[in-house]
């Protein structure tokens, strides 16, 4: 894989696809990457413009990474609400004639996707439980988050001796757990592919768990979402679960389920 800061590699001009990443992480993992992977089969070269930490998602088919740090807040497949991803003019000049695609509703809702199961199962990397204690605040997300104390109370209700880790980029580290936050995505996917269960509110990392084959327990609302034509339960159970990964969706209590409800489900799922 070649990486370019400023653009420059004139040999990639014939039969080239350039995919410019944008949007929320869950949409990137579960929709956009699969679309680009499928589309890449029709081209000799595929160039990916994305956050460098997301390159792992494309590494099985992408030939060149152009680092792109988008500005603004992501929203579904968009950035800054209704503004689509911007294609750098210098990129268009460098690869004149290449096919450039950006996320759109049509592409991200298309059934033309090809998926890859991420991560490698390794007994040394197995965790009994991984916690994604989300701490994002955009779109009033803090109202959807439990604080560290809630997760600590949850752990106290579970049997002793469990190997537990805390993961995420914008998330809390829960006292007494291994700190897995900010590790490389390739390592994180290996850990999730090896582990027994991950829990957390609906978020991009929970969708990534589905694509790693990691059983997950997720809580959310039962609100119908026009953008996907269903509820979050529909998304986790079927729409964004190409490998039929085991999942339990709790949507009866909204974003703040009681500790005892989650504790009971965790026990059942890890047979504790």
Measured distance CA(38)–CA(258) in Å, rounded: 41
Q: Which of 118, 121, 115, 111 shows the shortest CA–CA distance to 242? A: 115
pLDDT value at position 140? 58
pLDDT value at position 5? 43
Residues 141 and 211 in one domain: yes
Residues 179 and 207 in one domain: yes
pLDDT value at position 228? 87
pLDDT value at position 6? 42
Residues 78 and 142 in one domain: no
Residues 180 and 75 in one domain: no
pLDDT value at position 12? 53
Asked which of 52, 82, 108 is the last residue of a domain, the reply is: 108
Q: Which residue has the tokens 């099985």?
A: 60
Residues 153 and 194 in one domain: yes
Half-sphere CA count of 221, side-chain side, radius 13 A: 7
> Structural domain of residue 27, as residue ranges?
2-108
Asked which of 108, 134, 161 is the last residue of a domain, the reply is: 108
**Residue 115 domain flag:** no
**Residue 118 domain flag:** no
Residues 127 and 182 in one domain: yes
- How many domains, in total, are found in the chain? 2
Residues 51 and 156 in one domain: no
**Residue 218 domain flag:** yes
Measured distance CA(188)–CA(209) in Å, rounded: 10
Could you write out the DSSP letters of every residue in 197-219?
-EEEESSHHHHHHHHTT--EEEE
How does pLDDT run along the chain (272 residues), one tens digit per residue? 554 444 444 555 568 999 999 889 999 999 999 999 999 999 999 999 999 999 999 999 999 898 887 777 788 887 664 555 566 677 778 888 899 999 999 999 999 999 999 999 999 999 999 999 999 876 555 678 899 999 999 999 999 999 999 999 889 999 999 999 999 999 999 999 999 999 999 999 999 999 999 999 999 999 998 888 899 999 999 999 999 999 999 999 999 999 999 999 999 999 75
Number of H-type helices and E-type strands within the chain: 9, 13
pTM recorded for the entire structure: 0.89
- Bridge-partner residues for 129, per DSSP? 164
Residues 158 and 55 in one domain: no
Residues 150 and 258 in one domain: yes
Asked which of 50, 81, 108 is the last residue of a domain, the reply is: 108
SS3 105: helix
Residues 82 and 216 in one domain: no
Residues 96 and 166 in one domain: no
Residues 131 and 90 in one domain: no
């Amino acid at each position: 894989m070649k990486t370019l800061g400023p653009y420059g590699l004139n040999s990639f001009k014939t039969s080239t696809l350039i995919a410019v990443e944008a949007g929320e992480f869950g949409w990137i993992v579960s929709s956009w990457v699969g679309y680009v992977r499928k589309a890449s089969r029709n081209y000799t070269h595929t160039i990916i413009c994305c956050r460098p930490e997301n390159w792992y998602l494309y590494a099985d088919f992408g030939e060149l990474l152009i680092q792109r740090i988008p500005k603004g807040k992501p929203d579904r497949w968009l950035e800054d609400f209704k503004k689509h991803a911007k294609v750098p003019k210098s990129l268009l000049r460098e690869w004149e004639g290449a096919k450039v695609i950006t996320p759109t509703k049509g592409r991200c809702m298309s059934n033309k996707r090809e998926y890859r199961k991420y991560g490698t199962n390794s007994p040394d990397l197995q965790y009994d439980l991984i916690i994604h204690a989300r701490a994002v605040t955009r779109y009033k997300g803090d109202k959807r988050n439990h604080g560290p104390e809630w997760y600590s109370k949850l752990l106290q209700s579970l049997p002793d001796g469990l190997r537990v880790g805390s993961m995420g980029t914008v998330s809390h580290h829960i006292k007494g757990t291994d700190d897995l936050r900010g590790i490389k995505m390739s390592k994180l996917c290996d850990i999730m592919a090896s582990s027994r269960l991950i829990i957390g509110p609906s978020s991009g990392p929970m969708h990534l768990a589905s694509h790693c084959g990691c059983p997950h327990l997720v809580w959310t609302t039962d609100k119908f979402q026009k953008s996907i034509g269903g509820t979050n339960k529909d998304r986790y159970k079927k729409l964004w679960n190409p490998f039929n990964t085991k999942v339990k969706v709790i949507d009866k209590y909204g974003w703040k389920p009681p500790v005892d409800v989650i504790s009971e489900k965790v026990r059942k799922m890890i047979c504790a």
